[in-house]
Amino acid sequence: MNIITTPEGTRDRLFAECQRFRGVQRELTQLFHANGYEEISTPEVEYYDLFLQSGNPIPQEAMLKIVDRSGKLMVMRPDCTAPIARVAATKLKTVPLPQRLYYNETVFRSGDANRGGSSEIPQCGIELLGEGGLEADVEAVSMAVAALKAVCPNGFHIELGHAGLFPVLADQMEMPPIQVEEMRKLIEGKHFAALDDFLQSYKGKPAYALLSRLSRLFGGVEVLDEAESLVGPRPELRYLRDLFDALSQTGNQDYVRFDLGLVHQIDYYTGVIFRGYAQGAGAPVLSGGRYDNLLGAFGRPAPAVGFAMDVDLLSRETSVQPSTARLRVALTKGRLQDKTVELLERVGLDCSPVKNPGRRLIHSLPNYPLDAVLAKAPDVITYVEHGVCDLGVVGKDTILEHGSPFYEVLDLGFGKCRFALAVKERTDFYGTYKTRRVATKYPNVARRFFEGKDMDVEIIKIEGSVELAPILGLADAIVDIVETGATLRENGLVPIEDVAPVSARLIVNTAAMKLKKAEILDFIGKCQSGLE
């Protein structure tokens, strides 16, 4: 058979697209070079252990692996920073610090090709090795500003956070580690209402006031004022203010904001963290921070700071289209549509176009700057993830199945049902050694549920009316949505265990949240007041 397609997650670039892409690379590399950074290039394959050693937060399953002739496990470089730290600690060991390095390389990660995920991510970035402290951070953030200025004609901004803030606040809450992680996830995902609920029983703790606001504290320098008013002076907040003041002295203040809710799972970063957002791009185009422990992991302890820019996102045609102030909201068609309309009407939005849609799929509301897009549930997630819709209304079932690379800000309370494990009446599902077969429309949810029980099962994906599978003898059980329980009953099935509760959620694209903050917060506020 002749192979005439490119591998999953890869693509060719032709003519104008290639020119735009090379143009961005040229602009960035010239800038870095002109500022005293020297180019470094490392192999596209590295030993897997290198990334284990670096404490890199990239999950194992996201790395593309190869086994070499001696049986050693290698990976296609999933990140540029660890290999550069390796070089600095070995070949460059005798070269005095600080070292200023830049790279123009592709990193490889296995994404979900069916959802537009790319396995090849071209990056351009810098590493400033061997310099700690404010001056080095000012240099790195200023370089990030200059780099975005060079390639984002429609506007951009950078947000600063501090990796040290969350751990000290979490310590003051005296929570078990599992709860700290739960709280971290709620803050990182900007689950506004869920975080409020979660923290109810911690109201007496000293860090409660700030932690309960942390996911909402993004914006201008007033964010630091509010944080300080809630927790008193803190060195991390003081540091961010000093950094902002220093950046203001070099004329960068208009490009710099804050997000105190930037809280990463693994403390790879040790100080300032930053992300860059460009008008028209649905995901951050730049990401970086201070990582003072990485070089030490390779035997040459030294502080370091750096950032990487996504050249693909920066050179896409769509990234040069300025976004409008109107919000685009993807609504799940079917069961959730009427409830969403009810909620919006309760707070005064005229939804008549959505109530009489005909065959049209996009509807402008006459009295609010919002375009409603009607889509199937998994597509709501795809549109919001890619930033072609700013917000979405979708069931938690779909989020649990498809993942959540977006902010999940509100539980809207309607569309309530649950995931349950169900079997034919009078069946002992757990009482056998045989590998059980489970039919479901939600294979990821089912797989995780049984993994949590350390149980091997065979999962069969069914597209609908899953109840048929055990009746016809194809499966021993199903994992499916149960609302009233009528469908199970009428088909001789019984629920034996709840898997997860489900209800409709309001989700927000991570870049849109930052680029259209005022409009999006207004809409979230409206939805929240409709719930109350």
Ligand X SMILES: Nc1ncnc2c1ncn2[C@@H]1O[C@H](COP(=O)(O)OP(=O)(O)OP(=O)(O)O)[C@@H](O)[C@H]1O
Ligand Y SMILES: O=P(O)(O)OC[C@H]1O[C@H](OP(=O)(O)OP(=O)(O)O)[C@H](O)[C@@H]1O
Residues near ligand X (CB under 6 A): 332, 334-336, 377, 395, 397-398, 415, 417, 464, 481, 483, 502
Nearer of residues 213 and 396 to ligand X, judged by Cβ: 396
Ranges within 463-502 binding ligand Y (CB under 6 A): 464-467, 480-487
Enclosing H/E stretch for 482: strand 477-482
Among ligand X, ligand Y, none, partner that 480 touches (CB below 5 to 8 angstroms by kind): ligand Y
- Name the one residue in this structure whose structure tokens are 């143009």: 23
User: How many Å apart are CA 205 and CA 153, to the nearest integer?
Assistant: 46
| Residue 378 contacts ligand Y per CB under 6 A | no
Nearer of residues 283 and 502 to ligand Y, judged by Cβ: 502
Query: What Rg do the C-alpha atoms of the chain give, in angstroms?
Result: 25
Closest contact distance (angstroms) between CB of 482 and ligand Y is 4
User: How many Å apart are CA 223 and CA 241, to the nearest integer?
Assistant: 10
Among ligand Y, ligand X, none, partner that 336 touches (CB below 5 to 8 angstroms by kind): ligand X
Beta strands 272-278 and 327-332: pairing type? Answer: unpaired
Q: What is the DSSP string of 125-164?
A: EEEEES--HHHHHHHHHHHHHHHHHHH-TT-EEEEEEETT
Closest contact distance (angstroms) between CB of 453 and ligand Y is 22
Closest contact distance (angstroms) between CB of 388 and ligand X is 20
Among ligand X, ligand Y, none, partner that 133 touches (CB below 5 to 8 angstroms by kind): none
User: How many Å apart are CA 103 and CA 81, to the nearest integer?
Assistant: 10
Nearer of residues 302 and 439 to ligand Y, judged by Cβ: 439
C-alpha 192 chain-centroid distance:
16
Closest contact distance (angstroms) between CB of 483 and ligand Y is 3
End-to-end CA distance of the chain: 61
User: How many Å apart are CA 18 and CA 12, to the nearest integer?
Assistant: 9
Among ligand X, ligand Y, none, partner that 486 touches (CB below 5 to 8 angstroms by kind): ligand Y
Closest contact distance (angstroms) between CB of 417 and ligand Y is 7
Angle 61-63-69 from CA coordinates, rounded to 5°:
115
Closest contact distance (angstroms) between CB of 428 and ligand Y is 23
Structure letter (DSSP) for residue 361: S
Among ligand X, ligand Y, none, partner that 82 touches (CB below 5 to 8 angstroms by kind): none
User: How many Å apart are CA 156 and CA 151, to the nearest integer?
Assistant: 10
- Name the one residue in this structure whose structure tokens are 């976004």: 323
Closest contact distance (angstroms) between CB of 398 and ligand X is 5
Closest contact distance (angstroms) between CB of 478 and ligand Y is 9
CB 116 within 8 A of CB 149: no
Closest contact distance (angstroms) between CB of 257 and ligand X is 34
Nearer of residues 444 and 487 to ligand Y, judged by Cβ: 487
Among ligand Y, ligand X, none, partner that 34 touches (CB below 5 to 8 angstroms by kind): none
Nearer of residues 462 and 502 to ligand X, judged by Cβ: 502
Beta strands 436-440 and 477-482: pairing type? Answer: parallel
C-alpha 42 chain-centroid distance:
27
Count the residues of the shown chain that bind ligand Y, applying the rule CB under 6 A: 12
User: How many Å apart are CA 272 and CA 60, to the nearest integer?
Assistant: 26
User: How many Å apart are CA 382 and CA 387, to the nearest integer?
Assistant: 9
Ranges within 294-313 binding ligand Y (CB under 6 A): none
Q: Residue with CB nearest ligand Y?
A: 464
Nearer of residues 333 and 448 to ligand Y, judged by Cβ: 333
Nearer of residues 205 and 376 to ligand Y, judged by Cβ: 376
Q: Residue with CB nearest ligand X?
A: 395
Nearer of residues 305 and 329 to ligand X, judged by Cβ: 329
* CA nearest neighbour of 159 among 83, 76, 88, 220: 220
User: How many Å apart are CA 461 and CA 439, to the nearest integer?
Assistant: 6
Closest contact distance (angstroms) between CB of 485 and ligand X is 10
Among ligand X, ligand Y, none, partner that 465 touches (CB below 5 to 8 angstroms by kind): ligand Y
Peptide bond just before 98 cis, omega within 30 deg: yes
User: How many Å apart are CA 503 and CA 71, to the nearest integer?
Assistant: 48
- The one-letter code for the residue type at 454 is D
Closest contact distance (angstroms) between CB of 408 and ligand Y is 22
User: How many Å apart are CA 175 and CA 184, to the nearest integer?
Assistant: 12
With contacts defined by CB under 6 A, name the span among 147-155, 182-190, 458-466, 516-524 that binds ligand Y. Answer: 458-466
Nearer of residues 487 and 528 to ligand Y, judged by Cβ: 487
Tokens linked to 125: 């970035």
Among ligand X, ligand Y, none, partner that 317 touches (CB below 5 to 8 angstroms by kind): none
Among ligand X, ligand Y, none, partner that 332 touches (CB below 5 to 8 angstroms by kind): ligand X
With contacts defined by CB under 6 A, name the span among 120-128, 316-324, 461-469, 501-509 that binds ligand Y. Answer: 461-469
3-state secondary structure of 309: strand
Nearer of residues 490 and 532 to ligand Y, judged by Cβ: 490
Closest contact distance (angstroms) between CB of 397 and ligand Y is 9
CB 310 within 8 A of CB 475: no
Tokens linked to 261: 């809710």
* Site residues (vs ligand Y, CB under 6 A): 464-467, 480-487
